[in-house]
Amino acid sequence: MKTKKCFDANKYLKIQKRKIKQRINMFDKLYLEFGGKLIDDQHAARTLPGFSPDLKIRLLQEFKDEAEVILCINAEAIEKSKIRADHMISYETEVLRLIEFLRGKGIYVSSVVITLYAGQKKAKDFAEKLKDYKVKTYFHTFTKGYPTDVDTIVSDEGYGANPYIETTKKLVVVSAPGPCSGKLATALSQLYHEYKRGVDAGYAKFETFPVWSLPLKHPVNIAYEAATADLGDKNLIDHFHLEKYGISAVNYNRDLETFPVLKEILRRITGRDVYYSPTDMGVNVIGECITDDKAIQKAAKDEIVRRYYRALVDLKKGACTTEVPERIKLLMNELGVSEDDRTVVIHAEAKREAASRPAAAIQVGRKIVSGKETDTLSPVSATILNAMKQMNKIPDEVDLISPVILEQFWKSKTRPVTSKKGT
């Protein structure tokens, strides 16, 4: 069934552009930390039907004449070959993909910063590879004194020890292939260098989730906790914002914990208080663009259940600990959501019980299509073939792929590979 759109993407682009422009105009140059996925933001698309996976890129294209992008990647992520789970590709590959994709959209990628560098060999090798992409590469090390010794942090021993990244645009977007990549440290290091050069530079944060203007326990914000269960993120009321403005706003634990130090760092660099709360730093306007809250809540609850099953798969693969699905299950209980609230689950379970074999299900139009494991097909493969029949009104008894061909594929897959000398 086609998902009902309950998020106004055109309104979002219009008012989000205006919001960012307002922040740009506060400074000579703005460093905008871009959180979440820069491209292929499937979580946002599933949770906010109407928010297309490429919406952030469309937003950036609105600024392509006045913006450039710095990509950050943690040296340890390179060394450990960290994988981006949604595409099953390494962080290094994702950086290269981002460079090519952004350039294809007319967005200027000025440099790549390898953060927390401590001589890792794979990081050096990656820097060599980046030369083929004609992009400048910088190495940033751990910031001396961080997070408590502000005097050292804001000095030539701290942020000043990192090389200055040459930038030419008024808006500098700082992004990364995944979390914990050093975006904030890179942006603040740049602010330190800019002020030494007499440039009135500013910092702001673009985070899709949590949505500050929605209630703390709104399913959209709970879905963010489910999506970051492996990181242990937890939504909280921004007490700094509440105390300063008397307005309840939602933020998350890491930003709230680090804000006092961040505020002091910004004051030391700029000589003034620019922000009084983590919410102040943000520029996202998603809450203003929701057109059907009831439908949004349903989509978010579906996403939480999906995240639960995803975590169970990761657990079987050894990609996470038992705490991750357990934490998501607690979030489901908090919202009164169960696995059976996702309709395809009920049909897949029914098919499995009837066939006494593993099964899967997918929704096509208004109908649920299922499939079971066979001698030649996995349950997912069978379900996809059945879905193709459903979409093209092909009778169920018709084989889309001949059993003879499937059998040959299966034999070639299971047949031991032999090699002859000299061939």
Give the model's confidence band at 402: pLDDT under 50 very low, under 70 low, under 90 confident, else very high.
confident
Give the model's confidence band at 28: pLDDT under 50 very low, under 70 low, under 90 confident, else very high.
very high
Q: What is the mean pLDDT of the chain?
A: 92
Higher pLDDT: 240 or 404? It is 240
Q: Is residue 409 part of a domain?
A: no
pLDDT at 423: 33
Give the model's confidence band at 30: pLDDT under 50 very low, under 70 low, under 90 confident, else very high.
very high
Q: Which two tokens stand for residue 61?
A: 């294209």
- Strands of the sheet containing 67-74, edge to edge, are 136-139, 108-115, 67-74, 171-175, 29-34, 201-206
323-335 helix and 293-317 helix, angle to the nearest 10 degrees = 160
Distance CA 156, CA 193 (A): 9
For residues 253 and 138, state if they share a domain. yes
For residues 242 and 389, state if they share a domain. no
Give the range of the structural domain holding residue 129, as residue numbers without chain letter. 9-213+238-289
For residues 79 and 201, state if they share a domain. yes
Residue carrying the six token digits 């996995």: 378
For residues 359 and 254, state if they share a domain. no
Give the model's confidence band at 422: pLDDT under 50 very low, under 70 low, under 90 confident, else very high.
very low
For residues 123 and 49, state if they share a domain. yes
Fill in the amino acid letter for 42. Q
Q: Is residue 322 part of a domain?
A: no
For residues 283 and 359, state if they share a domain. no
pLDDT at 393: 87
For residues 282 and 377, state if they share a domain. no
Q: Is residue 225 part of a domain?
A: no
With CA atoms as reference, report the closest residue to 357 among 382, 390, 340, 384: 382
For residues 80 and 182, state if they share a domain. yes
Distance CA 35, CA 184 (A): 10
Q: Is residue 252 part of a domain?
A: yes
Q: What is the mean pLDDT of residues 322-329?
A: 97
pLDDT at 3: 59
For residues 114 and 260, state if they share a domain. yes
Instruction: Answer whether 125's CB lies under 8 Å from 112's CB.
Output: no
Distance CA 213, CA 247 (A): 9
Per-residue pLDDT reduced to its tens digit, 339-396? 988 889 999 999 999 999 999 999 888 889 999 998 888 999 999 999 998 888 898 8
Q: Is residue 334 part of a domain?
A: no
pLDDT at 111: 97
Three-class SS of residue 132?
helix
Q: Is residue 38 part of a domain?
A: yes
pLDDT at 416: 55
pLDDT at 76: 95
Q: Is residue 370 part of a domain?
A: yes
pLDDT at 421: 42
Give the model's confidence band at 17: pLDDT under 50 very low, under 70 low, under 90 confident, else very high.
very high
Q: What is the mean pLDDT of residues 233-254?
A: 96
Q: Which residues contact 57 (CB under 8 A, 6 or more apart)?
A: 38, 39, 101, 102, 105, 107
Instruction: Answer whether 57's CB lies under 8 Å from 105's CB.
Output: yes
Per-residue pLDDT reduced to its tens digit, 132-181? 999 999 999 999 999 889 999 999 999 999 999 999 999 999 999 988 89
Give the side-chain half-sphere CA count within 13 A for 316.
Answer: 5
For residues 105 and 198, state if they share a domain. yes
Write down the pTM of the prediction: 0.88
Per-residue pLDDT reduced to its tens digit, 74-87? 999 999 988 876 67
For residues 67 and 190, state if they share a domain. yes
Q: What is the mean pLDDT of residues 212-235?
A: 96
Planar angle of CA 297, 299, 302, nearest 5 degrees: 110
Instruction: Answer whether 390's CB lies under 8 Å from 364's CB.
Output: yes
**Structural domains in the chain (count):** 2
Question: How far, CA to CA in Å, does 68 sit from each of 61, 103, 135, 319?
Answer: 11, 10, 12, 35
pLDDT at 420: 43
pLDDT at 419: 44
Residues of the chain above pLDDT 90, percent: 80
Give the model's confidence band at 266: pLDDT under 50 very low, under 70 low, under 90 confident, else very high.
very high
With CA atoms as reference, report the closest residue to 29 among 68, 57, 75: 68
For residue 131, pLDDT over 80 is answered with yes
For residues 108 and 16, state if they share a domain. yes
Q: Is residue 18 part of a domain?
A: yes
Q: Which residues pair with 138 in a beta bridge?
A: 113
* Cα 142 from chain centre: 24
Q: What is the CATH number of the domain that holds 131?
A: 3.10.630.10
219-227 helix and 323-335 helix, angle to the nearest 10 degrees = 170
